[in-house]
A and B are shown apart, each in its own frame.
Chain A
Amino acid sequence: MFRRFIYFLIAIPLAVTANAQSGHYASGFSQMFDFAWDVNIPINNNFTNKVSWDGFKLEYRKMINHDLSLGFEVNWAGYKEYYPTKTYQIPNGAITTDFYTYIYTLPLALNVHHYFEAGKMIKPYVGLALGAMYSEQRIYYNTYYSNDYNWGFLVRPEVGAIFRFSENSNVGLLVGARYSYATNKQSTFKINGLQSVGFQLGLVFMQ
């Protein structure tokens, strides 16, 4: 984990390199990069229903007019759940085992955000992201595992706010919440769409 953190300390300055003026934007920045802890709660998912605590989000936004930005984001979440030993009926047979189920999700999305005037320190926003989501599903049982992967179309509305640490600071705190729906399907694992509610807390680097 520490090694990953170091990678990000190196990567962040490389991502934000522009030098546009930011004073006339409702967001208070011309472009930004954020890295956030991303906690996700799956909804109506029969495969794994446990909360993903160790997800994260990387995002870049660039203002295109006074109160609107376009951006790109990628995030990662891993869900897992343990099922104790049980006999499951299958067509023309049955199987008895305990197992872990895992779902990994990697959404890649373009987003648009609208910012509201709420003072120099606080920048609330609403946004919508559209994109594709790669997902991998695995079942681990005894020494074996079965897996599959698929892609789905992603829709993700969100709300949030950026809190500057001070009026002149280019660094701030991002707090956000959003709902995600992706069309990923897997018939064997009875997955028909992946939904989640996510909460983000992270650092924002602004220019």
Chain B
Amino acid sequence: MKRLLFFVLLAVFFVGCYKYPDTSQLSTNFVVLTNYDNTADFTSYKTFVLPPYVGLISATSNDSTLDPQYGDQILNTIATNLTNRGYTEVNNNHSADLGIVATAFKDVTIISGWYPGGWWGYPGWGGCYWYYCGYYPIYPPYYPTYVYETGSVVVELVDLKHIPSNEAKLDVIWTNWNGGALGSNSTNLQLALNAINQGFTQSPYIKAQ
């Protein structure tokens, strides 16, 4: 009995020894992760087209689009970065080389990988990707598994130039995942804009020439 008590006390002691960081000391900036398709030649694309809105996936909102007062600034930031890299914005998605998908995630935790069909489990998924209903995105097989949770904004570049005629799929050639703790809406927006800018900064291969 004494020995048992001794080991119980030891176990309690060790469990109490874990140290945890003071996360308030960590930067509030979003974590910025980018991945690209290493078979894609980014200089072969010359034009891009923006979506009309930023998608919203949230467990606490029925809206499927982000409020335009925030979403438009996200789209403008993406457009500015692409324009600065030599791409030209067009309004017709059928003539654009690149399509942009921008999605905000709030109050949800979804784990998704590169595998085809990963998007099908998203709440609010309507069966359409980009303007192509019935299509699904294809990610390079070496992409990591993403965790989309509270405070994530994801930007993707989709290859519209090489859509296979016999398969309902679109190749995603660049993914920019930005995530972190949320604050007020204005704070979140600025964090998202900063993160998108950083996503382009750390992706110098995105250039038209």
User: Are A58 and B36 CB-contacts (below 8 A) given A98-B27, A144-B31?
Assistant: no
B18 & A80 in contact (Cβ 8 Å cutoff): no
**Interface bits B20-35 vs A (CB < 8 Å: 1, else 0):** 1101011111111111
CA distance A104 to B14 in the complex (A): 11
* Interface residue tally for chain B (C-beta within 8 Å): 43
B31 & A58 in contact (Cβ 8 Å cutoff): no
Asked if B179 is at the interface of the complex by the 8 Å CB criterion, the answer is yes
Contacts of B31 in A (CB 8 A): 95-97, 141-142, 144
Contacts of A187 in B (CB 8 A): none
Of A74, A95, A99, the contact of B33 (CB 8 Å cutoff): A95
B26 & A4 in contact (Cβ 8 Å cutoff): no
| Closest chain A CB from B112 CB (angstroms) | 16
CA distance A85 to B198 in the complex (A): 12
Asked if A37 is at the interface of the complex by the 8 Å CB criterion, the answer is no
Contacts of B36 in A (CB 8 A): 92-93
B202 & A87 in contact (Cβ 8 Å cutoff): yes
Asked if A76 is at the interface of the complex by the 8 Å CB criterion, the answer is yes
Asked if A106 is at the interface of the complex by the 8 Å CB criterion, the answer is yes
B2 & A94 in contact (Cβ 8 Å cutoff): no
Contacts of A92 in B (CB 8 A): 35-38, 140, 142-143
Q: Name the residue in B3, B5, B27 with the highest tally of chain A Cβ atoms < 10 Å from its Cβ.
A: B27
In the complex, what residue of chain A is closest to B18 when comparing beta carbons? A104
Among B9-66, those with CB < 8 Å from A are 9-10, 12-14, 16-21, 23, 25-38
| Closest chain A CB from B177 CB (angstroms) | 9
Judged by DSSP, the binding face of A is strand
B34 & A93 in contact (Cβ 8 Å cutoff): yes
Of B6, B10, B17, the contact of A78 (CB 8 Å cutoff): B17
Counting chain A residues whose Cβ lies within 8 A of the other chain, the interface size class is 35 or more
Asked if A140 is at the interface of the complex by the 8 Å CB criterion, the answer is yes
User: With contacts defined as CB atoms under 8 Å apart, how many contacts are there between chain A and chain B in the complex?
Assistant: 99
| Closest chain B CB from A36 CB (angstroms) | 14
A93 & B33 in contact (Cβ 8 Å cutoff): yes
Asked if B181 is at the interface of the complex by the 8 Å CB criterion, the answer is yes
| Closest chain B CB from A203 CB (angstroms) | 16
Among A10-24, those with CB < 8 Å from B are 10-11, 14-15, 17
CA distance A4 to B10 in the complex (A): 9
Asked if B190 is at the interface of the complex by the 8 Å CB criterion, the answer is no
Asked if A166 is at the interface of the complex by the 8 Å CB criterion, the answer is no
User: Are A140 and B13 CB-contacts (below 8 A) given A91-B142, A95-B33?
Assistant: no
User: Are A7 and B13 CB-contacts (below 8 A) given A82-B25, A92-B36?
Assistant: yes
Asked if B76 is at the interface of the complex by the 8 Å CB criterion, the answer is no
CA distance A92 to B143 in the complex (A): 8
B5 & A98 in contact (Cβ 8 Å cutoff): no
Contacts of A97 in B (CB 8 A): 27, 29, 31-32
In the complex, what residue of chain B is closest to A100 when comparing beta carbons? B21
In the complex, what residue of chain A is closest to B5 when comparing beta carbons? A14
Report, nearest first, the 8 A-B pairs whose CB atoms are least far apart: A93-B35, A142-B180, A94-B202, A96-B32, A100-B21, A97-B31, A143-B181, A14-B6
Can you report 27 residue pairs joining A to B where beta carbons are below 8 Å apart?
Answer: A8-B13, A10-B9, A15-B6, A76-B14, A80-B21, A82-B21, A87-B201, A87-B202, A91-B142, A92-B36, A92-B37, A92-B140, A94-B33, A94-B203, A95-B32, A95-B33, A96-B198, A97-B27, A97-B29, A102-B19, A140-B20, A141-B26, A142-B23, A142-B27, A142-B179, A142-B181, A143-B150
Residues of A within 8 A of B (CB): 3-4, 7-8, 10-11, 14-15, 17, 54, 58, 74, 76, 78, 80, 82, 85, 87, 91-100, 102, 104, 106, 140-144
Given contacts A78-B17, A92-B140, A143-B151, 15 further A-B contacts (CB under 8 A): A7-B13, A10-B9, A11-B6, A14-B5, A78-B18, A92-B38, A94-B203, A96-B33, A96-B198, A97-B29, A140-B23, A142-B30, A142-B31, A142-B179, A144-B179
